[in-house]
Amino acid sequence: MQALISLIEQYGLALVFANVLLLQLGAPLPAYPTLIAVGALAAAGVYPPALVVAVAVVASLIADLVWYFVGRRVGHRALGLMCRLSLSPDSCVRQSESIYERFGPPSLMVAKFIPGYSAIATSMAGIVRTRRAEFVLFTAIGAALWAGVGVALGWIFRDAVAEVLAALEQAGRIGVLLIAAGLALFIAAKAWKRYQFRQQLKHPRVSVEELNEMIAAGHRPLVVDVRMASSHAESRIAGALWIDSKAVERGARDLPAADEVIVYCACPNEASAVLVARQLMKHGFSRVRALQGGMDAWAAAGYPVEGRDPTDDRPRPAA
């Protein structure tokens, strides 16, 4: 913390800008310690609090617009990129999709307070073509709230920040080692959770080429879409049926009998498809495989799609 204060004294609000920008772009660099420290300095009259918040908002908005345009340009592949940048398990993508589908753009006002949701939500806004002005409004409000809380904490607990600095200074190397050990344990725990999740994803898969050949030969399997309902309504593999990935038991009862079932999603590592495939096998379907690459791979290969082709980046007509 003392080193952080020294950096702030040397680089000023440029450090706040860089820290917030890198965090919101996906780097594992927490910004709240910086905002709290600057908030404590603001209480001493070093910086105007409103200026600190404004700098953080501008940095955050730049990063959010980057992810917005990435989502708009490359679709659900942006979520795969976010998952690779994140230490959280791949399931965070599906959970974030559900939050955005339920609450829409207003969820951006609290996105930065929800671990793993912020960058995915901004990408989702681009994927579903949220209006740019609406996106900027809600994400700017969210950034102001998020930065404001950090600065306010530093302002309110400025005396406690000073005490922490004094304690760390007395602890010397031991304090640094304790902080490093805590960070290492955090990363190790996240890595272990990711390993466990990837073990769950070991399941038979079918390539898009193989599925297309099966359909062309007249051996059409039952194709099941487990993406968001809105994504299925917009575009889907021709003839695919939709079930709710959160209510597989109910959905399984409504599916027709089939010798083989192919499940697809639009998420990293076919995570949702694999989890649903396993549940369908428990409900009596003997042969269930996940589609490798999901909807994105199918559409990119030029195979039949009902509705809008997800690889087409042309603006959608107004509703």
Cβ atoms of residues 261 and 287 within 8 Å:
yes
The mean pLDDT of 280-302, rounded to a whole number, is 90
What is the C-alpha R_g of the chain?
A: 23
Amino acid at 14: A
- Tell me the pairing of strands 241-242 and 222-225: parallel
Of 75, 110, 79, 73, nearest to 94 by C-alpha is 79
> pTM for the whole thing?
0.61
For the stretch 188-236, pLDDT in tens is: 776 776 666 666 667 889 999 999 999 999 888 999 999 888 788 888 9
Tell which residue, 245, 231, 295, 249, has the closest CA to residue 274. Answer: 245
Q: Which two tokens stand for residue 26?
A: 């996906």
Average pLDDT on 149-175 reads: 71
C-alpha closest to that of 124 among 153, 151, 103: 103
- Number of Cβ within a 10 Å radius of residue 304: 11
At residue 291, the 3 state secondary structure works out as: strand
Whole-angstrom distance, CA of residue 10 vs CA of residue 27: 22
E strands along the chain, which residues?
205-206, 222-225, 235-237, 241-242, 261-264, 288-291, 305-307
User: 261 forms bridges with which residues in the sheet?
Assistant: 222, 288
- Which residue segments constitute the domains of the chain, with CATH numbers given? 2-200 (no CATH), 205-307 (3.40.250.10)
Please count the other Cβ atoms lying within 10 Å of the Cβ belonging to residue 198.
13
SS3 205: strand
The distance from CA 189 to its chain's CA centroid, rounded to whole angstroms, is 19
Task: Measure the CA–CA gap between 141 and 176, rounded to whole angstroms.
Answer: 36
β-strand partners of 288:
261
Q: What is the pLDDT of residues 97-151, one digit of tens each?
A: 677 777 889 999 998 988 667 777 888 888 888 999 999 999 999 999 999 999 9
